[in-house]
Chain A
Amino acid sequence: MPEEVVVVVDGVLVTMPAGSMVSAAIMNAGISSFRKSVMGQARGPLCGMGICFECRVTIDLQSHCRSCQTVCQNGMDIRTCE
């Protein structure tokens, strides 16, 4: 099992320990706004346990993915505020 994985967050390569969640990768990349609310406000993770849905991003072209419940895999393409 590799010790690290590399994911792409808004076009930027981010290296994370294996087993990390996508939400942590996004924040480590310096991005705090994951999505825009109905009225266009910047939003980021709140509950950290998969129930608030504020951490949703597009992963590998699939929208509405809860990043705090998705484990980073090598080469994952992550896009915020889509």
Chain B
Amino acid sequence: MNSQRYECDVLIVGAGPAGLAAAYRVFESGREATVVDDNPHAGGQIWRGEKEKSASTSARAWFERIRNSKIRFINGARVFQQPHERVLLAELDTEFCELTYEKLILATGARERFLPFPGWTLPNVMGAGGLQALVKTGLSIKGKRVVVAGSGPLLLAVADNLKRKGAAILAIAEQAPRGSLMRFGFGLISQSGKASQAYDLKRRLRGVKYLTGCWPVAAHGTDKLERITLRQNSRDWDIECDYLAYGFHLVPNLELAELLGCKIDRGAVSVNEFQQTSMANVYCAGEATGIGGLELSLVEGEIAGLAAAGQTARARGLFGFRDKQRKFASLLNRTFELRSELRQLPRADTIVCRCEDVEFERLRQSGSWREAKLHSRCGMGPCQGRICGSAVEFLFGWKVESVRPPVFPVRVGSIAGDSPKSNVQSPKS
């Protein structure tokens, strides 16, 4: 297995908005920035595909800055282990690399929270961000009937994107009650940029049914999704559709921070005012420090980049803007809090761990995440508990813990390190 060694000054993990903002500020401060990311192109989730042709002015501006900066990008690389302090290992398609750093900025972002309900494992039931990602990477959605459901402002952004690509959005089902959403709407008024964004979005989605206090309770179909059942005010009804794009808000990606020993508080990486974690030389910015939206991610990235580059005065200059964004983040998270009825969605035979096909009933018999893993194999599959872990945290209140390397599945050869020269053969069965 080939290996490369990169000596980095400031290493940034994650090429989403927070990572890019950090990288830019590092470069602009005269330091060297290296960005490592699993995806083939920069942008993370929210700016996936925006590098070439961007729909948003903000993305365009940032990509322009990045293009005019000298930043080293290592794409298609999954960080999986920390063999020693100040060293990370990452795996690429045909090799692995060793990254040494002076300062590290974690911008690992967030993932969608999927709550299990009967039929959720049917093909064509996908994440909201998931379906959007697929469409951005080539899936033809023209003329397809889509129901968007779950919780969070992402649902609207996704519906908007899909509609523009020709999908027929049959409904958007938001579990938050109407009252919360109205208060959210009023709250946006104090955040001028966001209010106009929201208004634009609403305008583009005029004509699309937006149902509040509404959530999916079942998906039906033989080999793939054919229709879903929605519930609102105790009334259930079915909608025939081709795709269900659903997700219940976001959860931070904490695995790498945990592996490095960073303190985690209330499900997010703990940082000080300069975005420093509890581990020396390690910073964290963006959704991993707490879900808060694009603008908060950007300013946190900038602060982390400036602080890592030693520009503390300039970093301080952004604190005010960050505070404002944090207020929005609180409003966001309060509004889209998940209601308790969602804990009643799974039936006894509903699969909770998709990797190992573990049903809800088996998990109910366990007392903790660790016990569930041992006796039902829940969380022991390739997703390493990322999907089912977020679900059981909500369903049972279990604390999902114990992170060991590799924090991402990688080839045995990558963990083995510099393995003997011998040519690698394909497995024989």
Q: Which 7 A-B pairs give the minimum distances between C-beta atoms?
A: A20-B138, A24-B138, A44-B123, A48-B130, A48-B133, A32-B123, A21-B137
Contact assessment for B138 and A48 in the assembled complex, using a CB-CB cutoff below 8 Å = no
A43-B123 contact, Cβ under 8 Å, with A48-B129, A48-B132, A53-B381: yes
Q: If the complex has contacts A16-B138, A42-B224, A44-B224, are A51 and B386 also in contact, measured as CB distance less than 8 A? A: yes
Give B residues with C-beta under 8 Å from A.
Answer: 38-40, 45, 76, 111-112, 114, 121-127, 129-135, 137-140, 223-224, 351, 354-357, 381-383, 386-387, 409, 426
Contacts of A51 in B (CB 8 A): 111, 383, 386-387
A38-B357, A39-B357, A68-B137 known; A52-B386 Cβ under 8 A: yes
Shortest distance in angstroms between B189's beta carbon and chain A's nearest beta carbon? 33
Beta-carbon nearest neighbor of A14 in chain B = B138
Q: What are the residues of chain A within 8 A of B387 when measuring CB–CB?
A: 46-47, 51-52
Across the interface, name the chain A residue whose C-beta is closest to B76.
Answer: A69
- A42 and B134 within 8 A (CB): no
Find B357's partner among A19, A24, A28, A41 (CB 8 Å cutoff). A41
Task: Quote the shortest CB–CB distance from B131 to chain A (angstroms).
Answer: 7
The complex places the Cα of A18 from the Cα of B221 at a distance, in Å, of 33
Alpha-carbon separation in the docked complex, A68 to B126 (Å): 12
User: Do B137 and A23 touch across chains, with their CB atoms under 8 A apart?
Assistant: yes
Distance to closest chain B CB from A43 (angstroms): 6
A25, CB-defined interface residue at 8 Å: yes
> Do A44 and B124 touch (CB < 8 A)?
yes
- Please state if B140 and A48 are interface contacts (CB–CB under 8 Å): no
Count residues of A near B (Cβ-Cβ below 8 Å). 38
> Is B133's CB under 8 angstroms from A37's CB?
no
B409 CB contacts on chain A under 8 angstroms: 53
Query: Which residues of the partner chain B approach A50 to less than 8 Å between Cβ atoms?
Result: 38-39
Asked if A45 and B111 sit within 8 Å, CB to CB, the answer is no
Q: Which residues of B contact A13 (CB under 8 A)?
A: none
Contact of A48 with B127 in the complex, beta carbons under 8 Å: yes
| Residue in B45, B111, B139, B224 whose beta carbon sits within 8 Å of that of A33 in the complex | B224
Chain A residues lying within 8 Å of B76, measured Cβ to Cβ, are: 69
26 pairs of residues in contact across A and B, judged by CB atoms under 8 Å: A16-B138, A23-B134, A24-B137, A24-B138, A24-B140, A33-B223, A37-B351, A37-B354, A38-B355, A38-B356, A43-B121, A44-B124, A44-B224, A45-B126, A47-B111, A47-B114, A48-B127, A48-B134, A49-B133, A50-B39, A52-B354, A53-B382, A54-B354, A68-B137, A69-B40, A71-B40
CA distance in complex: A39, B131 (Å): 25
A42 to B119 Cα, complex, angstroms: 11
With a cutoff of 8 Å between Cβ atoms, the chain B residues found around residue A68 in the complex are 133-134, 137
Contact at A37–B38, with CB atoms within 8 Å? no
Give the chain A neighbours of B40 by CB distance below 8 A: 19, 69, 71
- A75 contacts partner chain B, Cβ-Cβ < 8 Å: no
- CA A41 to CA B351, docked complex, whole Å: 11
Interface contact A46-B130, CB-CB below 8 Å: yes
Q: Specify which of A23, A25, A45, A49 lies most central, judged by the most chain B CB atoms within 10 Å of its CB.
A: A49
Contacts of B121 in A (CB 8 A): 37, 41, 43
